[in-house]
Structure 1
Amino acid sequence: MTGQATGQVEQERRRGAFSSRRVFILAAIGSAVGLGNIWRFPYVAYENGGGAFVLPYLVALLTAGIPFLLLDYAIGHRHRGSAPLSFARLRRGAEGLGWWQVGICFVIAIYYAAVIAWALRYTFFSLDEAWGADPEGFFFGEFLQAGDVRVTADVVPGVLLPLAVVWLAVLVIMALGVQKGIGATSLVFIPVLVLAFAALVVQALLLDGAAEGLDALFTPDWSALGEASVWAAAFGQIFFSLSIGFGIMITYASYVGRREDMIGSGLVVGFSNSGFELLAGIGVFAALGFMAQANGVGVGEVASDGIGLAFIAFPTIISEAPAGALIGVLFFGSLVIAGITSLVSVIEVVISAVRDKLDTGRLAATFAVGIPAALLSLVLFSTTSGIYVLDVVDHFVNQYGILVVALVSMLIVAWALRALGGLGAHLNVHGRPRVGAGWRVLVSLVAPVGLALVLFFSLRDDLDEPYEGYPGWLLLVFGWLLVVVLPLLGFLLARLPWRAGTHLDGPPPGSDPTAPLHANPATRGEGGPR
């Protein structure tokens, strides 16, 4: 092995690695399966044709979701680095794309932790139905103490404590490293999540009215397939739920042994994520059917998504249903587990980038990233105005952060850098089934068109009327300005020098599909290259 290759292998050993393909797949599924699978997909499907939505959803999954997932895998696996380092090795000028993704992940982490903290608190609230007869009034009033739409420094102790607990748990996981922290957490949490949510679904199906809920979800409205907005919703759901386009899968793929089948792994992750979404749809709408029957109204009158579903509709169901406490613990416990595995993947994007850029150890990088993130999270989202700031930041970072950087990255990689041929060849070295011209067409044309369609409808809606009727100053400061600042900051960070000895000129030794592949010492003997 050459001196350059030896140095590269030593750098990879210090970065860490997943011990096996199985651990990587579970970690990737843990990232993909998050809060959005549980509280977003069922309502999106219901609002966009019910059972007929399955068709555009599958089209979006096969033509955009999985192809883009494989693109992220190829970039990270071939170039063996965090998002900024992988893009820099792809082409020096593309490094800013990686830092743009890092910025998005940092912002997501600081508010995502708050929602997990709410779910953690509600897991215990479920035991005695602490919300009483008015779940909505309890959530916004007694629990969040939300008042007028303004930014305040008034701390809510009931949010501060669980939020601190969430960050403490995440920092411990991140400090333990790629395998002992992220990998080990995924090995335990993902099976527990599946079992817990399956138990929730069974319990929901036993409720009176469950059939009406499922009928409302799955009855197809075939006329919806003629509406462009329905197809845009399908593409949007796929991109939001698969954790693609903002650095997570690039980072995770860089921790996988060089000889692993990334194509097969991508198919497993993609279909597992969609399978969980379908399971979530069944469980959620079975419960909503019960709620509708109990209140003598149609399912459409109680169906909602996001925070309204989790913290208002479900507490109402828990209060009225037999074995309500069990349903509550299973539901909110599932939210906590799904949220933690996703939050870990989001913050790892930032930690990995800092480690690669500055050559710091795992512990130092964890504290350098995690402590500021935790403090910002506590300051912004444990106050009486936290819910409003969170709602605005979440909307704009998702709609115009993740989707825009994904679209720009795809177009640059495909058309400006003409890198799809080399990346596809890398996937094909050990991957099955092979990718070819069809994959390149999907990544360079179909997926960008789908994303552009989603962005068009989102922008049209936000320009027609202010998001949720919030005041302009709130949307400007925590929405539009944030969207503009993140890419600017990303390309400024790209101007900082890399640590001495960092290989930047193309793929590191052993990554070229025509060159001999060397085993990754971090995984040798632990289920790595075979």
Structure 2
Amino acid sequence: MKAKSSAVGLRTRETFSGRNAFIFAAIGSAVGLGNIWRFPYVAYDNGGGAFIVPYLIALVTAGIPLLFLDYAIGHKFRGSPPMAFRRLHKKAEMFGWWQVLICFVIAVYYAVIIAWAACYTWFSVTKAWGDDPAGFLMGEYLQVADEVNVQFNFVPGVLIPLILVWVAAIAILAFGVQKGIARSAMIFIPLLFVMFIILVVQSLFLPGAFEGLNALFTPDWSRMADSGIWIAAYGQIFFSLSVAFGIMLTYASYLKKKTDLTGSGFVVGFSNSGFEILAGIGVFAALGFIATQNGQAVDEVAASGIGLAFIGFPTIISQAPAGALLGVLFFASLVFAGFTSMVSILEVVISAIKDKLGLGRVSATLWVGIPMAIISILLFPTTTGLNLLDVTDAFVNSFGIVAVALVVVIFLTAGFTALPKLRDHLNKTSSIRMGRTWMMFVGGITPIILGYILIDSLQTMISEGYGDMPAWFVGVFGWGMAIALVVVAYLLSKLPWSSKSALHDPDIDGEPVSAPILDPEIDAKEIARHDAETGEFAAANAPDEPAAATRRSARNGKDRP
């Protein structure tokens, strides 16, 4: 794929066509499975309506500031996480690879949940689970093995849709940033919102719906003094916004020069939270119905995660009027929300390999997508895949995403030089300017909250273990995986970059660029002519580092890292 360039022989970095395309893609990344199946229960379990107060405070003081941080790094340094951090500081590249590897792990198991949801969209029509949704999920559908280990006994009903999910994701990503990522998001996200609004309206007309809403929104103000509620609010915001593990950084690197970064960030942040609240209304209206039908209290049927989606909702669908429509809307929403998030997660890995090896879009997509698909297909559509998913998800979130976010924030805050420069970059083209308050939120509040979450998770996991999983299984696929991410990230940071990748700070006044690449079709005379006009083209494309160093020294008075 060859993009336009204002300079002869240069290929620019892919870009979104405009702000709207970026916003749709960013919302597609942020709005995922957790918005639908995690937020409603977290809110209910932490004070109901009272939870909205710390939730919104967390959004303004941590979620959106971290979102702006990702935007600033990606847009200023114009690269994938490894390249952006390398351009920020020569010793920071490892942080970028850590984020890339986290995305790698998440993508290989995230895809199988989308495959489940796709199957359940059809199961909703036939109500295939009968009178026992739990037994159907664990037995007939997933065929979960009694023993916790790793086997390669494939389940056809999961394997085939999983392959289709990977084919669709790789195909979209091969089309690139604008034609693939942005266009698909501009189709899927409006459909997702329309479907979920219809689902919410249908849920509100179910008998007992307002019992569920009362349970969700009745505030328990006495809980406001409980520190656990505040930690839960910050944790929910942190995990739901797709911040601090490379996604928003990568997307921001595809923005054009004059983009309203902070204005776009507020749109994405509040759209994500608005969808979460909408999901809470729809889910708890449905839970109120099933509680009323069964003569139970709402707290007896409330659940989150896989239990809510694949056991709780099928129970509701079986008993609700027009239950098949409710089920199709719910599970199709899971498919769309999960798929747009999966695309964004995969793009982080593809962008990093593309930058590191100097590959084209299609080549990088295939080199990354096919091996990841093979790993996913070997491990997760099996009779032992559910337990592997459970452990991997818990550890990559608690000791992957949280840990790398904490380390990056501390690194950027140390020395008090990086954050002011990133703030200045945000303010160049943004409609809402950032000041010292933003730096205080990022460098003060955020590391304290992240540190608390990380330490609390460590203490809990060490003292209590992880459920009833065998120690060896947790050690290999939990602790072992989390440690391996750091080790492999360090090793990847030591590998040489392609000669096509420019590691100096890119020209701030130009459009987002990747490495300057010499086009062999341009003859020496044309290069010489352009060099005479600009004074930098030939040097920028020189294959040897000494020449490039000479150019940088002449321009800046010193070498840049």
TM-score range, shorter chain: over 0.9
The worse-fitting range, judged by mean Cα deviation, of 297-306 and 491-500 is 491-500
Matching residue of 1:24: 22
Q: Tell me if the contact between 2:77 and 2:253 (Cα under 8 Å) persists in the aligned partners.
A: yes
Instruction: Measure, in 2, the Cα distance between the counterparts of 1:417 and 1:328.
Output: 52
CA contact (8 A) 2:78 2:513 kept: no
Name 2:549's counterpart in structure 1.
none
Equivalent in the alignment of 1:243: 242
Question: CA contact under 8 A between 1:73 and 1:262: conserved in structure 2?
Answer: yes
Q: Counterpart in 2 of 1:508?
A: 506
Instruction: Give yes or no for contact 1:72–1:250 (8 Å, CA) kept in 2.
Output: yes
Cα separation, 2, equivalents of 1:486 and 1:366: 21
TM-score of the aligned structures, taking structure 2 as reference length: 0.89
Superposed, which structure 2 residues align to 1:214-229 within 5 Å?
214-229=213-228
* Aligned match of 2:340: 341
Quick check: which has more Rg, 1 or 2?
Answer: 2
- The answer as to 2:266 corresponding to 1:274 is no
Q: Distance in 2 between matches of 1:9 and 1:204?
A: 58
2: CA distance, partners of 1:135 / 1:518: 56
**Offset from partner CA, 1:478-502 (integer Å, 9 cap, x none):** 1011111101111110111111153
Which amino acid in the other structure matches residue 388 of structure 2?
V
Aligned residues with identical type, % of pairs: 57
Which residue in the other structure is 2:10 paired with? 10
Q: Deviations over 1:205-258 (max 9, x none)?
A: 010010000000011111211122111111110111000000000100000001
Q: In 2, are the aligned partners of 1:428 and 1:434 still within 8 Å (CA)? A: yes
Give, in whole Å, the separation in 1 of the partners of 2:450 and 2:114: 28
Q: State the partner residue of 1:518.
A: 510
**1:441 is the counterpart of 2:440:** yes
CA contact (8 A) 1:87 1:94 kept: yes
Where does 1:88-167 land on structure 2 (aligned, <5 Å)? 88-148=86-146, 149-167=148-166
- Equivalent-residue separation in structure 1 for 2:121 and 2:246 (angstroms): 31
Pairwise CA distance, 1:519: 4.3
The answer to whether the Cα contact below 8 Å between 1:81 and 1:356 also exists between their aligned partners in 2 is yes
Structure 1: state its 5+ residue gaps.
512-516, 523-530
1:528 corresponds to: none
Could you tell me which amino acid in structure 1 is paired with residue 90 of structure 2? Answer: R
1:469 maps to: 468
1:234 maps to 2:233: yes
Q: Residues of 2 paired with 1:9 and 1:262: CA distance?
A: 29
Find the counterpart in structure 2 of residue 331 from structure 1. 330
What CA distance in whole angstroms lies between the structure 1 residues aligned with 2:458 and 2:323? 40
Deviation at 1:140, TM superposition (A): 0.3
Deviations 1:100-129 (A, max 9, x none): 000000000000000000000000000010
Query: Which residue number corresponds to residue 87 of structure 1?
Result: 85
Structure 1 residues 62-77: aligned runs within 5 Å: 62-77=60-75
- Deviation, 1:459, is 2.1
How much has 1:521 moved relative to structure 2? 8.9
How far apart are 1:23 and its partner, in Å? 0.4
**Equivalent residue of 1:146, what SS?**
coil
CA distance in structure 2 between the aligned counterparts of 1:292 and 1:96, rounded to whole angstroms: 50
The answer to whether the 8 Å contact 1:397/1:483 transfers is yes
| Structure 1 contact 131–138 (Cα < 8 Å) conserved | yes
In structure 2, the CA distance between the partners of 1:81 and 1:8, relative to structure 1 (3 Å rule), is farther
Q: State how many pairs are aligned.
A: 509
Q: Which residue of 2 aligns with 1:478?
A: 477
Q: CA deviation at 1:461?
A: 2.2
Matched-pair contact (CA < 8 Å) for 1:9–1:521: no
Q: Within 1, Cα distance between the matches of 2:316 and 2:460?
A: 32
CA contact (8 A) 2:208 2:289 kept: yes
Query: Which residue of structure 1 lines up, in the alignment, with residue 292 of structure 2?
Result: 293
Distance 1:458 1:418 in 2: 31
Are the equivalent residues in 2 in contact too, given 1:50–1:220 (CA < 8 A)?
A: yes
C-alpha distance after superposition, 1:392-418 (max 9, x if no partner): 000100111001101111110121573
Does 493-502 or 298-307 show the bigger shift? 493-502
1:42 alignment partner, one of 40, 43, 48: 40
- Identify which range, 218-227 or 273-282, moves more after superposition: 218-227
Contact 2:94 2:490 in 1 (8 A): yes
CA distance in 2 between partners of 1:24 and 1:420 (Å): 24
- Distance between the aligned counterparts of 2:66 and 2:443, measured in 1? 10
8 Å Cα contact 1:8/1:508 also seen in 2: no
Q: Return 5+ residue gaps in structure 2 as ranges.
A: 515-561
Cα RMSD of the aligned pairs, angstroms, is 1.5
User: Would the aligned equivalents of 2:78 and 2:512 in 1 still touch at CA under 8 Å?
Assistant: no
Deviation at 1:61, TM superposition (A): 0.6
SS in 2 for 1:502: coil
The structural deviation recorded for 1:7 is 7.5
For 1:175 and 1:325, locate their aligned partners in 2 and report how far apart those are by CA, in whole Å.
Answer: 35
Cα separation, 2, equivalents of 1:177 and 1:449: 38
Secondary structure of residue in 2 paired with 1:120: helix
Match of 1:494 in 2: 493
Structure 2: how far apart are the matches of 1:210 and 1:425?
49
| Residue 102 to residue 60, structure 1, CA distance change in 2 (3 Å) | same
Q: For 2:500 and 2:416, locate their aligned partners in 1 and report how far apart those are by CA, in whole Å.
A: 25
Contact 1:173 1:181 in 2 (8 A): yes
> Residue 343 of structure 1: SS of its match in structure 2?
helix
Q: Which residue of 2 aligns with 1:525?
A: none
Deviations 1:405-449 (Å, cap 9, x if unpaired)? Answer: 011111101215730011000010111210011101110011111
Shift in Å, 1:328: 0.4
